[in-house]
Amino acid sequence: MQTDIWIAIVVAALGTFAMRAVPLLWTQRHFNKHKANNTQAQLPNWIGVLGPLMIAAMLGVSLIPKVNSMAGWSATLAGSLVTVLVWRKTKTLGLPVLAGVLAFGLVFGVSTILT
Amino acid sequence: MTTSSNTASRPGWQRGVLDALPLLGGYIPVAISFGLIASQAGFTALEATLISLLIYAGASQFLLVAMVASGAPLWLAVSMTLLVNVRHVVYAPNLVPDLTQSRAWPWLMHGLTDQIFALAHTRLAQLNHHDKLGWYTAASLVAWASWVLGTTLGAIAGDTLTQHWPLLDAVMPFALPALFLVLLAPRFSNRLWFYTLSVTIISAMVLALTLLKNAAIPLAAMAGGFTFYLLSRPHNKPEQTHAN
């Protein structure tokens, strides 16, 4: 690969790392300053709200099935329902995900065969 | 989120590995696709693997490879890559209240993907102080390794894999929405969060179906933020004054 493409890749990698790490350093510095002054540091309210909102937005985007068809949407609905039901029963992380994927696969497979 | 009691006694790093396992269902098929697309675009398996190792940000890697392959100016390809990844700036500050004092944290932020953030945002607050660093290191390494190895596999044998198991490619990525659903589920019992999250999820779906996927995430989060602000505003209407 040409050198200029490698430079582009390294710049993209460094930029992405900076966007992940620099806000951490800023916020840690803010918290440490409060600690030194014996005051309670708090995140700005909007940052605390934005965390769950970003997860919800990623959920919405990822819910759209890779195969945009009746089979894909039925499987998404079934997988989501099973995930929530198993979570309510077990309150764990892995088992609801596994059950959801199995339900998704089952409904997707059956619907694909039927249609 | 409530955790299962049988995992609470494990060391942090073991719990990190276990918690990251559901991510593999989403990471590996997408990484295989990336490896395949990169090799079709003219990158060698080593080059595709290095891109995943260094940049480690799914959607932006697809964009970068596609733009480079199409002969777009490199400065534009890099700018677009960084623009797609700009959402990451809000992740680390959300984790800071739950982090320990260690110089390793800034370096570990290389592994702060969307999914690791979602996992860490819930899990770190529940862990003992001495388990946090081990948990995060293990969880992010499992995810990173799966992404890098998946890319290599895709670049070498992606064609064969997708031809042999097309159903697996369609089914496994559901692990990601299932994981996000479980991470958000406890918040749905609160009325304010129920409406806020519902608006965010529906907005993201509608936007992703109509616009670019990467614009959908920040725009939907903004719609959710607006809903949160409207619903949490105190209802202190000014009292009616009767002049006469």
- Residue B224 touches partner A, C-beta closer than 8 Å: yes
From chain B, the residues in CB contact with A43 under 8 A are 93-94, 96-97
Rounded to an integer, the average pLDDT of B151-158 is 91
Q: Which residues of B94-113 are buried (b: 16+ CB within 10 A; e: fewer)?
A: bbbebbeeeeebbebbbbbb
Residue of A13, A51, A114 lying closest to B82 (CA atoms):
A13
Window 15-54 of B: residues touching A by CB (8 A cutoff) are 18-19, 21-22, 25-26, 43-44, 47, 50-51, 54
Chain A residues with CB under 8 Å of B174 CB are 65, 75-76, 79, 100-101, 104-105
Q: How confident is the model at residue B23 (pLDDT cuts 50, 70, 90)?
A: confident
The Cα–Cα gap between B27 and B65 comes to 18
Q: To the nearest 5 percent, what fractions of chain A are helix, strand and coil?
A: 85, 0, 15
Classify residue B88 by its DSSP letter. Answer: G
Q: How many CA atoms lie within 13 A of B103 on its CB side?
A: 0
> Are A56 and B117 within 8 A, CB to CB?
no
Distance CA A42, CA A30 (A): 9
- pLDDT attached to residue B2: 43
Amino acid at B224: G
How many angstroms from the chain centroid is the CA of residue B96?
A: 18
Q: Is the CB of A47 less than 8 angstroms away from the CB of B94? A: yes
CB count within 10 Å of CB B143 equals 23
Question: Per-residue pLDDT for B211 more than 70?
Answer: no
The conformational region for residue B100 under phi > 0 = left, psi -120 to 50 = alpha, else beta, is: beta
Residue ranges per structural domain of chain B: 5-186, 190-233
Other Cβ atoms within 10 Å of B1 Cβ, number:
16
Q: What is the pLDDT of residue B235?
A: 63
Three-class HEC string of A28-72: HHHHHHHHHCCCCCCCCHHHHHHHHHHHHHHHHHHHCCCCCCHHH
Each residue of A31-73: pLDDT tens digit? 888 888 877 777 777 777 887 888 898 899 889 887 788 889 9
Question: In this structure, is the dihedral angle defined by the CA atoms of residues B218, B220, B222 and B225, taken in order, positive or negative?
Answer: negative
Between B183 and B144, whose confidence is greater? B144
Band of pLDDT at residue B240, cut at 50, 70 and 90: very low
Which residues 41-80 of chain A have a CB within 8 Å of chain B? 43, 46-67, 72, 75-76, 79-80
Q: Which residue has the higher pLDDT, B136 or B173?
A: B136
Residue B209: closest C-alpha in chain A: A64
Greater pLDDT, B92 or B9 = B92
Nearest CB partner across the interface for A16, out of B82, B121, B167: B82
Spell out the residues 6+ positions from residue B173 whose beta carbon is closer than 8 angstroms to its own: A62, A66, B25, B26, B29, B30
B174 touches chain A (CB under 8 A): yes
* Residues of chain B contacting A55 with CB distance shorter than 8 Å: 117-118, 121, 180, 183-184
Query: Does residue B193 register a pLDDT over 70?
Result: yes
C-alpha of B98 from chain center:
19
Sign of torsion, CA B121 B184 B167 B210? negative
Q: Which residues of A touch B82 (CB under 8 A)?
A: 12, 15-16, 19
Per-residue model confidence (pLDDT) at position B241: 41
pLDDT at B102 over 50: yes
The band of A16, judged by pLDDT with boundaries at 50, 70 and 90, is very high
Better-scored residue on pLDDT, B126 or B233: B126
